[in-house]
Structure 1
Amino acid sequence: MIGPNPLEYGWWLASRSSGIVALLAVSISVIIGLMMANGLPRKPGAKRKLLAVHESTALAGLIAIVIHGVTLLGDSYLHPTITQIAIPFTISYRPFYTGLGIIAGWGAIFL
């Protein structure tokens, strides 16, 4: 096998990929929500379809946020605690950016 074995850093791959999925899903949900708030779907029945996509992507994003946090607990490089994952700016690895991510995650959950 050429390169590192993916099984050795599976938790990192899972947390990274679920974080990317969360970011994309929540972003799509917000964009669709803004479109609906501005009345962009003008065709009959389009608003109902967009609402279904909006709700589905929001739910997928929330699930991905939870998976991202849970899989970070298994990361052998970071070794984060539940407190470090739940409270912004408490983890030692890039505290500013991880803190912003935690705030964004809580914001998505509560909105």
Structure 2
Amino acid sequence: MDEALWAIGRATGIVSMVTLTLAVVLGIVTRSGRPLPGLPRFSVTLVHRNLSLVSCVFLLVHIVSLFFDSFAQLTLLDFVVPFFGSFLPFWQGLGTVGVDLLIAVVVTSLLRNRIGLRAFRVVHWLTYVLWPVALAHAIGNGTNGTSGWFLVIAGISTALVLGAVAWRVSARFIEFRTVRTGEVS
């Protein structure tokens, strides 16, 4: 059973990282208010939200399966206090920090209408910290973190996110006014 939990933990961690990468890229694209080829604007937002949800579900399975795996030997404290774990505490701690940041982003997303758009956006900016922290955790703590195939996935993920960020901060990025004001066009 432990081997199955270990395999589930590894696989779900990788899937969570890939879907989080795609959600971050789509979040950056969504911010512009532009549609993607073949998708209207509202669809880009829905795909972004659904990918974020899928990433959270796989992350939850990742955490739970490793918690019950006797080889991983994780405690409840490992999930709450960063850098406290017994195995690779720095890299494991990055995972804890990533989960804490993700919880903040998810909670503010769910409370977006209650806390206001400004507070939502400020907390949502934590995603720019969350993503590299999660990637570093995957590389440093993951069983396959330094495997060639995983480093290719990490490299592609990094290129996608950095490309989206470069586009976001470039002069070519034009945010449609209706995105900022919430007007319907």
Q: Structures share a fold, TM > 0.5?
A: yes
- Residue from 95, 98, 109 that aligns with 2:103: 109
- Residue from 22, 25, 41 that aligns with 1:28: 22
In 2, distance between residues paired with 1:94 and 1:59? Answer: 28
State how 1:10-25 maps to structure 2 within 5 Å: 10-25=4-19
In 2, distance between residues paired with 1:28 and 1:44? Answer: 17
Q: Secondary structure at the match of 1:37?
A: helix
Aligned residue for 1:3?
none
Compute the displacement of 1:86 (Å).
2.8
Identity of aligned residues (%): 26
Q: Secondary structure at the match of 2:71?
A: coil
In 2, distance between residues paired with 1:16 and 1:43? Answer: 33
Q: Return 5+ residue gaps in structure 2 as ranges.
A: 106-185
The question of 1:46 aligning with 2:37 is answered no
Q: Which is further off, 44-53 or 81-90?
A: 44-53
Q: Which is further off, 78-87 or 29-38?
A: 78-87
Q: TM-score, normalised by structure 1?
A: 0.83
Q: Which is further off, 49-58 or 38-47?
A: 38-47
Q: Secondary structure at the match of 2:68?
A: coil
Q: Which is further off, 23-32 or 7-16?
A: 7-16
Amino acid of the structure 2 residue aligned with 1:59: L
Alpha-carbon RMSD across the aligned residues, in angstroms, is: 2.0
Q: TM-score, normalised by structure 2?
A: 0.52
Q: Return 5+ residue gaps in structure 1 as ranges.
A: 1-6
In 2, distance between residues paired with 1:18 and 1:83? Answer: 21
User: Number of matched residues?
Assistant: 105
